[in-house]
Structure 1
Amino acid sequence: MMRLIARLDVKNQFVIKGIHLEGLRKVGDPNQLAKAYYEAGIDEIVFIDAVASLYNRNNLFSVIKKASEEVFVPITIGGGLRSLADVEQALDAGADKVALNTAVILEPELVKKVAKRYGSQCVVASVQAKRTANGWEAYMEAGREKTGLQVLDWVKRLQDLGAGELLLTSVDQEGTKSGFDVKLVEAVNKAVSIPVVVSGGYGQPRHIQELLEVTVPSGVCFASVLHYKSTTVETLRLSIEQSEAN
């Protein structure tokens, strides 16, 4: 069964949402939303510090600490985690997994270090992908900075380094509610054997169907459709069950 994951992008203690990771609007309190999604039956929750790269640090540890006292599903934290010490602080605050992007682009061996100390299951390699003329390029710093890395080459390397899971965000589709980048998900799913979680683009049930007709990721992140109450966890699960049955 594909996992339903709530994604909470946080800026200055507020959950925010934008389009293509830009034009951010406040939508609510992260702990209130996390608790509501947990009580509604979500499988996992991902907290991302949306402005960590500006301050070179993650500011969500207090949020995670409170969430871990009220939410009893796996919690992933990402944004601004640059070292083993940052990862240790995140796990001590109550996170189960850490999502790493910019730090591991700058220092790929960090994946290996975290996996060796805490296990591969702790390491979520976050990949922010943008379409190019001949594929996809990986970006860092919240989708603002090019890396020159081809996504399919990069995800294979991340797997080889010890990442236990991928958080694959289509920057092109993020916040648009116009559907997933199905070709991207399919290509990455074929390139690696570790679980792939998809983020960016969901807007209506047919988008799940279009995705599952081609490839089956391990999980899908939902953000604005939950934040703005245009759907529910129960409805999303029903859509997935129906699509999987077909």
Structure 2
Amino acid sequence: MVLTKRIIPCLDLKDGRVVKGTHFVDLRDAGDPVELAERYNEQGADEVVFLDITASKEQRGAILSVISRAADQLFLPLTVGGGIRTIDDIHQLLRAGADKVSINTSAIKDPSLISEGAIRFGNQCIVVAVDVRRSAAENPEATVIHLPDGTTCWYEVVIYGGSTPTGIDAVRWVKEAEERGAGEILLTSMETDGTKNGFDLAITAAVSDAVSIPVIASGGVGTLADFYDGVTAGKADACLAASVFHYGEFTVRDVKTYLAGRGVPVRL
């Protein structure tokens, strides 16, 4: 059976509202998350990601009420990320109606959160989000990645929204995440995030080759061709994007029609 490639809009939430900004700065209100998600549902989105960017404990009630409303009104899988630190956090979100949770910094700080979450709720519920940045620092144990310009580097995992280096090699970390029970990898390269110059195909392909679970490419979409490159050269199973959808540059259906026209299997 040929697996279809998925197109996934991402909605950044603050206090239960969708916000738009650049690198979480200059945030502007962009509307009700359930209404926006419903629009993407009608356009044929395969899933929707809600990312709670101010996910302190005080705001947890806001995101839970959004998830509950979305689960009642939408008929597509819903992934929620941001501020998930404990098994109880995962349980609350799934109970509110999320289909999957995305864990990032907390998975690095406590990798047992992946394994415990997978055992308790099933691998399919646990998405490990991995933010990476190119590094030229000496690291004999890291996986060497060949870049299009002929140079080489390795990719370091960064946490806290890309601000803090960890010294961890990205390829080794995604393998460990899979071994611990992650059902998917959501990969964002800080090199391309927000640039609209396309996905970072070198690391996307390397991660896709390193694991057998689905890889979602994220960070850098600017054109329809970028989606095609993500699932072909990048070997990703899905592509995630935010601003190109929010600003109406094209719809989810535009993307799928484009991909289908180039022989990529999608759900139309």
Q: Shorter-chain TM-score category?
A: over 0.9
CA 1:43–1:100 in 2, change beyond 3 Å: closer, same or farther?
A: same
Give 1:216 shift. Answer: 2.5
| The one of 83, 104, 107 aligned to 1:104 | 107
| The one of 171, 181, 199 aligned to 2:200 | 181
CA 1:244–1:150 in 2, change beyond 3 Å: closer, same or farther?
A: farther
More displaced stretch, 126-135 vs 211-220: 211-220
Q: Distance between the aligned counterparts of 2:190 and 2:29, measured in 1?
A: 19
Q: Distance between the aligned counterparts of 2:214 and 2:164, measured in 1?
A: 25
CA 1:244–1:57 in 2, change beyond 3 Å: closer, same or farther?
A: farther
Matches within 5 A, 1:35-74: 35-52=38-55, 58=60, 59-74=62-77
State whether residues 156 and 168 of structure 2, in contact with CA within 8 Å, keep that contact through their aligned partners in structure 1.
yes
Q: What SS does the aligned partner of 2:71 have? A: helix
Deviation readout 1:151-194 (Å, 9 max, x if unpaired):
11110110111101011112222222111101111010011111
Matches within 5 A, 1:9-20: 9-20=12-23
Give 1:242 shift. Answer: 2.6
What is the count of residue pairs matched by the alignment?
A: 245
State whether residues 16 and 27 of structure 1, in contact with CA within 8 Å, keep that contact through their aligned partners in structure 2.
yes
| Residue 139 of structure 1: aligned partner | 158
| The one of 209, 213, 231 aligned to 2:250 | 231
Unaligned runs of 5+ in 2: 137-152
Q: Give the alignment's Cα RMSD to 1 decimal.
A: 1.9
Corresponding letter in the other structure for 2:182: A
State whether residues 57 and 81 of structure 1, in contact with CA within 8 Å, keep that contact through their aligned partners in structure 2.
no
**Structure 1 stretches of at least 4 aligned residues deviating more than 6 Å after TM superposition:** none
State whether residues 195 and 218 of structure 1, in contact with CA within 8 Å, keep that contact through their aligned partners in structure 2.
yes
TM-score (norm 1): 0.93
Percent identity over the alignment is: 40
| Residue 26 of structure 1: aligned partner | 29
Give 1:22 shift. Answer: 4.6
Give 1:110 shift. Answer: 0.9
Q: Distance between the aligned counterparts of 2:83 and 2:183, measured in 1?
A: 19
Give 1:208 shift. Answer: 2.3
Matches within 5 A, 1:73-152: 73-133=76-136, 134-152=153-171
Unaligned runs of 5+ in 1: none
Give 1:81 shift. Answer: 0.8
State whether residues 197 and 220 of structure 1, in contact with CA within 8 Å, keep that contact through their aligned partners in structure 2.
yes
State whether residues 5 and 231 of structure 2, in contact with CA within 8 Å, keep that contact through their aligned partners in structure 1.
no
CA 1:16–1:113 in 2, change beyond 3 Å: closer, same or farther?
A: same
Q: Distance between the aligned counterparts of 1:46 and 1:177, measured in 2?
A: 19
| Residue 211 of structure 1: aligned partner | 230
Corresponding letter in the other structure for 1:227: H
Give the number of the structure whose alpha-carbon radius of gyration is greater.
2
State whether residues 57 and 80 of structure 1, in contact with CA within 8 Å, keep that contact through their aligned partners in structure 2.
no
State whether residues 231 and 237 of structure 2, in contact with CA within 8 Å, keep that contact through their aligned partners in structure 1.
no
CA 1:16–1:244 in 2, change beyond 3 Å: closer, same or farther?
A: farther
Corresponding letter in the other structure for 2:242: A
